[in-house]
Amino acid sequence: MSEITVNDSIDSRDEELLPSATTVALVQLALACGGFGIGTGEFAIMGLLPNVAETFSVTTPQAGYVISAYALGVVIGAPVIAVLAAKMARRTLLLTLMLVFAAGNISSAVAPTFETFTFLRFISGLPHGAYFGVAALVAASMVPVHRRARAVGRVMLGLTVATLVGTPLTTFFGQSLDWQVAFFSVGVLGLLTVALIWFYVPKDRVSEEAGFLRELGAFRRPQVWLTLGIAAVGYGGMFAMFSYIASTTTEVAMLPASAVPAMLILFGVGMNAGNFIGSWLADKSLLGTIGGSLVYNIVVLTTFSLTAANPYMLGLCVFLVGCGFAAGPALQTRLMDVAADAQTLAAASNHSAFNIANAIGAWLGGLVIAWGYGFAATGYVGAALSFLGLFVFAASLRLERRDRSTQAV
């Protein structure tokens, strides 16, 4: 197996020394497999909550605490792991993260009590953000600069395909056989990823300057905070809508409960289309893709609220909202640019920001529903969040232009 030196200066890489196309494809496949396992494990629980509640003799809302526990693990784990593992080679870190993920899910399948199960879901969430952040850095480092976003998009393809294939399959078998089967299967996917990374991801050497303090330096850069703010605020709208899509389908569009899986599939297809198109657009215009996707979300989410009672428009809007995931690769790549020599922490924190967006969107959507505005109003909430995200994006642009003017002088 060849050995490569991690180059944190992405603009200075020598394209003649980059790996072959076959090597790059195998590495991206290995990393995407991990994303598939993580995405499946994260979302499968949502369809298995009643089964979990029955096993542990708790209510379904109480069983929902395990979703919060996993999300908390993502938010905490991403920055903490990135800092503590600053001196660890990226390949070694990826292997360690997937081993923890696999162990957490397999242990979840045999948890004896609800408290133990909740704690193990928290442990399973810890590697999530750090894995995607490091995987994105590895994938981007192996291709020319002008193809970075597409490389990141292929890694994230594992996550989007999980929403379309992995989650429905594990939910089906979990409901038909036993919900523990779903988590055991996810654990096996984690072990498969360990094997693929071991065989296909080249060994790397850590920069001598890498360390705890250098990674923390990412949080001294305003552009890092602004980019994370765009993700945390501007993209909460997707989650505001999606968190209540089942009730919107049955109570607003008046469709039968059997139509809910079709809506979930449409959303998954949209996420995959958005990931593909967005990563291509980001390589053409990174900032244009981020700003354009925020405007796009405002239009689509507003249309969702105006037309949710029409079943055909509901299906179309669910697909189009899923396409809003186009910003994912762009934001991940943007963080690589603005983090300078502290890329691991910044890249990992992107997924903490998206989980914060999930929490904000679901919470605000729930408030609007509780105030009596109805499930369709979640689209207006999402549009408002995207509008706020535009202000954060504008602040980032203004700061960048000011810095360029200062450097020119």
Token duo for residue 152 = 């990141």
Q: Which of 331, 332, 357 is nearest to 134 (CA)?
A: 332
Residues 6+ apart with CB under 8 A from 137: 90, 336, 343, 344, 347
Whole-angstrom distance, CA of residue 244 vs CA of residue 55: 25
Structural domains for the chain: 19-201 (1.20.1250.20), 221-408 (1.20.1250.20)
Say how far apart CA 333 and CA 345 lie, in whole Å: 13
Reading the chain (409 residues) residue by residue, the pLDDT tens digits are: 444 444 444 444 555 567 778 888 899 899 999 999 998 888 777 667 778 888 888 876 677 778 778 888 888 888 888 778 877 888 899 999 999 999 999 999 999 999 999 999 999 989 988 898 888 888 888 888 878 788 888 888 888 888 778 777 777 777 677 888 888 999 999 999 999 999 998 887 766 555 555 666 666 788 888 988 998 888 888 878 877 777 888 889 998 877 877 887 888 899 889 888 988 898 888 899 999 999 999 999 999 999 999 999 999 999 999 998 888 888 888 887 787 666 777 777 787 888 788 778 878 888 888 888 888 998 999 999 999 999 999 999 998 888 777 766 5
**pTM of the predicted structure, to 2 decimals:** 0.78
